[in-house]
């Protein structure tokens, strides 16, 4: 991508409305734009990061056996009247009427709709277990939308829904998502700690929030500090092994960890004082087991091996991609801007032409840009005629992991500089060596 032809509206000044660093940096880097309160457009740079986050989420959902579909944002009120949540959900639900005066709503979550899909076609235990997910916009008319896309009214959610014949089966489905979440957040460069959590309007008794420790987090959390170094389940994890996944769950729930709603002061005080971590955190995921809460009122049942009908046991599993992007920035930035983990960086490499219009600089940059693009890298080429200082500031701000800098002096001796955004380390090397480093 040539910067001169891209759309990346950088802000020079710090936007006044932004209270936390991730919101400030997302606005300054031209990643998002507020359209109305708590409702955002994702501009091209932000969209690239969001897509990469979603690709990792999808990959791990698929690995754990979940199956992707797509459900609409607008739902009919009838389904919610069946489950009894239409009135119970309160003012957070945006209620709309269509031209026939039929009550509709912009979905805040999808338990009812997915239960309806399930009951319309699954009739036998032989088709279980089943886990269906989608990555879709949601709307919650939050009373205090804030911090940009961290808490917005319209936001994206990966929501998965599992169906099992028995409680034991449902617990295995829960453990699959539990392990998939540990892997997902790890691949996003984050350390998320599962904590016992309140179930709120989704319901049920068993529930964990996945929390990233951050000073700007909205939740108050309490946990054992050893969680920070626990091992993440590997790529070869067998998601069909009931014992294997139970062992992962048991290990990750063996020490104290709870959000303020579920906090038990006495249990926390039993943790040796030096091991106690009381901090603030960002909730990036939340999983629930709620049994037959929806299947009973909505009549979602299957025939069991005993020939009788059984209401299915369900769970639901949410991740907030549009919250994860600012959460990653909260965890990874410095005074100059964002520092993306390579897995979600909008571009792998930025090529900076320090003197656009200078034949040798232009030729060198074109050569590097073409070679790296051909090798499958996402490359941003800063071919604009801005001052070098402005280009460096922009490259640091948008946080691309590697900068290849071509200035007239170095280029005259066949060299460029390679800078690591995270460490700031710079190395001068031949043009060929720079290309080979990233092509190999
Ligand atoms: N149906 C269940 C799970 S699928 C559910 O709705 N769970 S939730 O309410 O906990 O939301 C799941 C995730 O969505 C949260 O962990 C959070 O990451 C994200 N999320 C929730 N509300 C917002 C919001 N207002 N802005 C941004 N992300 C949000």
**108 CA → ligand 1 middle, Å:** 9
Q: Say yes or no: CB of residue 366 within 6 Å of ligand 1.
A: no
Do 414 and 309 share a structural domain?
A: no
CA distances from 196 to 199, 323, 327 (A): 10, 20, 20
H-type alpha helices, 286-339: 295-298, 321-331
The rounded distance, in Å, linking the Cα atoms of 249 and 30 is 40
Indicate which residue's Cα is closest to atom 11 of ligand 1. Answer: 318
Domain assignment present for residue 343? The answer is no
State the pLDDT at residue 30.
Answer: 98
Do 379 and 297 share a structural domain?
A: no
Domain assignment present for residue 135? The answer is yes
Do 288 and 256 share a structural domain?
A: yes
Domain assignment present for residue 54? The answer is yes
Domain assignment present for residue 38? The answer is yes
**32 secondary structure, DSSP code:** E
Start-to-end CA distance of the chain, whole Å, equals 21
Q: Answer for the pair 127, 305: CB distance below 8 angstroms, yes or no.
A: no
**pTM exceeds cut of 0.85:** yes
Name the residue with tokens 């409305």.
17
**318 CA → ligand 1 middle, Å:** 6
Going from the first residue of the chain to its last (440 residues), give the mean pLDDT of each consecutive group of 10, the final group possibly shorter: 98 92 98 98 98 98 98 97 94 97 98 98 98 98 96 98 98 98 98 91 88 93 96 97 97 95 95 96 97 97 98 98 98 98 98 97 98 98 97 98 98 97 98 94
Mutational test site, ligand 1, from 150, 323, 326, max ligand atoms within 8 Å of CB: 323
**365 CA → ligand 1 middle, Å:** 44
Indicate which residue's Cα is closest to atom 16 of ligand 1. Answer: 285
Q: Say yes or no: CB of residue 323 within 6 Å of ligand 1.
A: yes
Q: What is the CATH number of the domain that holds 150?
A: 3.30.930.10
Print the domain residue range for 420: 349-439
Domain assignment present for residue 344? The answer is no
Q: How many domains does the chain have?
A: 2
Q: Answer for the pair 317, 64: CB distance below 8 angstroms, yes or no.
A: no
Do 257 and 215 share a structural domain?
A: yes
Q: Say yes or no: CB of residue 317 within 6 Å of ligand 1.
A: yes
Q: What is the CATH number of the domain that holds 361?
A: 3.40.50.800
Do 222 and 130 share a structural domain?
A: yes
The last residue of one of the domains, among 313, 338, 363, is 338
Do 314 and 354 share a structural domain?
A: no
């Amino acid at each position: 991508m040539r910067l001169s032809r891209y759309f990346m509206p950088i802000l020079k000044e710090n936007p006044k409305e932004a209270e936390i660093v991730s919101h400030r940096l997302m606005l300054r880097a031209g990643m998002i734009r507020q359209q109305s309160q708590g409702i955002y457009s994702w501009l091209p740079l932000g969209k690239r990061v969001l897509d990469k986050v979603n690709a990792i989420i999808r990959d791990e959902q698929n690995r754990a056996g979940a199956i992707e579909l797509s459900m609409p944002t607008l739902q009919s009120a009838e389904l919610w009247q069946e489950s009894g949540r239409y009135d119970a959900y309160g003012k957070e639900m945006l209620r709309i009427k269509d031209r026939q005066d039929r009550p509709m709503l912009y979905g805040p979550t999808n338990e009812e709709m997915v239960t309806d899909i399930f009951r319309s076609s699954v009739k036998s235990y032989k088709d279980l277990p089943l886990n269906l997910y989608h990555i879709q916009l949601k709307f919650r008319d939050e009373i205090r939308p804030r911090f940009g896309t961290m808490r917005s009214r319209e936001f994206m959610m990966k929501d998965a829904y599992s169906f099992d014949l028995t409680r034991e089966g449902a617990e295995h489905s829960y453990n699959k998502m539990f392990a998939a979440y540990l892997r997902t957040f790890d691949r996003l460069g984050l350390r998320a700690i599962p904590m016992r959590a309140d179930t709120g309007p989704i319901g049920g008794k068993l529930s964990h929030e996945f929390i990233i420790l951050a000073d700007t987090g909205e939740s108050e959390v309490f946990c054992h500090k050893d969680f920070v170094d626990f091992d993440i389940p590997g790529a070869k994890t067998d998601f069909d092994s009931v014992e294997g996944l139970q062992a992962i769950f048991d290990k990750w729930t063996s020490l104290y960890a709870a959000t303020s709603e579920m906090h038990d002061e006495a249990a926390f005080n039993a943790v040796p004082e030096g091991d106690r971590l009381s901090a603030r955190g960002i909730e990036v995921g939340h999983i629930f087991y709620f049994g037959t809460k929806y299947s009973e009122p909505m009549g979602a049942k299957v025939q069991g091996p005993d020939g009788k009908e059984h209401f299915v046991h369900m769970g639901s599993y949410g991740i907030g991609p549009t919250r994860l992007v600012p959460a990653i920035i909260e965890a990874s930035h410095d005074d100059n801007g964002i520092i993306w983990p390579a897995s979600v960086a909008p571009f792998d490499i930025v090529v900076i032409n320090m003197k656009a219009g200078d034949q040798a600089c232009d030729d060198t940059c074109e050569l590097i840009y073409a070679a790296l693009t051909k090798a499958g890298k996402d490359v941003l080429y800063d071919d604009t005629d801005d001052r070098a200082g402005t280009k460096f500031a922009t490259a640091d701000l948008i946080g691309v992991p590697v900068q290849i800098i071509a200035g007239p002096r170095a280029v005259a001796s066949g060299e460029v500089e390679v800078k690591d955004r995270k460490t700031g380390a710079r190395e001068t090397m031949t043009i060929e060596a720079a290309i080979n480093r990233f092509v190999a």
